[in-house]
A and B are shown apart, each in its own frame.
Chain A
Amino acid sequence: MRLREYEAKELFREAGIATPKGIVIKYAEEIFGVENFPCTLKTQVLTGGRGKAGGIKFANNADDAYQKAQDIFKLPIKGDLPVAILVEPKVVIKKEIYTAILIDRAYRGPIIMASSEGGVEIESSENIQIVPIPGGNYNPYLGRKMATKLGLSGKDVIKYGNIVNRLWDVYTKYDCDLCEINPLIVDGDDNFVALDGKIVINEDALDRQPRFDGMLGEHLTDLGEREFRGKMCGLNIVELEGNIGILCNGAGLTMATMDLVFHHGGKPSNFLDVGGGASKSHVARALDLVSSDKNVKVLLVNILGGITDCVEVANALKYYKETRPEANLVVRLVGNNEEAAQQIMNQAGIPMTNVLDEAVKKAVAVAA
């Protein structure tokens, strides 16, 4: 779950990382409460690239700021309208640095990643420095080590090290996947200040992070209609552009089924992994979700029952067929309780195969 800038900065400040003294406004009129000009107006959205898209503006006085705030509130960034604007006093920037703590697959643990070129997309920086945190066991020398790698010296090593120490506190306290300050600036008084912040909380850890209770729904972005609804009811769906609805169990098998549809000349409408041990009602919800897209011409159901009971799936399919007799179903059901499931399918008049390739070819033919 990605936090918005102002939410990330709140966590930074609580941990002792300085940020500009800003205020968050939800209506343009609130700008008249701002006293320090010139100021920066920053749109609060969940997508990157907001500066280039016109979501960050400078204003010299209240009237100017009011006009610009009105514009920003109306401006969607990649389809995402701002929930607020963060208004901050303009600061003097002597130096810009990129600094983040994130989990890295290749290092099998957290790393400090930094660059002496802050303010830009880190991917485009050629000066990326990495300090791994061995075994996830952080000690302050690691922050100082990074300071040296960035060419800092003297008191700046201590100041920068303190920032990394505190960033580590945020990273561990809130189960973050990413804690990023970009840019971390050195201001006119030689203080290190977080000018922008990005925090991603690990979604598997959300249930033990009460601070973020109920926040997931309004922090989802870049999701299709079915993806959003799936997320709200624990179904793992990814939208694709074809017309063959897919319902499988297990991520690997679902991907393989999707690939197989392409392989045989069809186009999947989605990826949906119904998970292990799914009940009738869970499968029924999944069938509804997949078929809620108008483009879906056929539903391809591929279940290999290990912990999943094929009878639960068969009962869900039977119910689905009863309520929607016109629906096209291609079903492959094997494994746990297969024979009993076969009987239910026979009664319901739904043809069933136990060969995956056959099922996929049939679905492709129906959808063509």
Chain B
Amino acid sequence: MEDLAPKIIFWVFAALMLGSALIVVAGKNLVRSAFALLATFFSVAAFYVMLGADFLAGAQVLVYVGGILTLILFGVMLTNRIYSLELNTPRFQVVPGALVSAAIFMILVTVVRVTPWKQASIVEEGPTTARIGQALMNQYVLPFEVASVLLLIALLGAAMLVRRRTDL
């Protein structure tokens, strides 16, 4: 039973993730799609937990659920007819889209099956926060700083977009 439990948890979250992702993509109601993202993000966090990446799981929930999802909801609610419950997304070209998706899916499945993927050596269990911090400050210090420049510029762009014309 103790071997079975992780498997059950895995499949439950996998089903939750894929099911909610499907709603996000195919759902007609835009706000419901946005709320369905909650389950998707949360399931991804659960996967991180199962992989032993505790810090990443926390950051995933914090950033995606706490930040991005809230912003998406704001965006959806503020940019559409705000009182209307019928925020529907029209669907275009369902059949060609489905065919292309199916083709890509088949290709990817084939690739996944035939490719000799690199097997990661079993990593040691335990807290990852300190190791992540050290990696960021040593080996990955340049990407870390580049990311901060990226964020600075994104902030600048956001501020520019919302600024009134009179402030130019």
| Bind each other | no
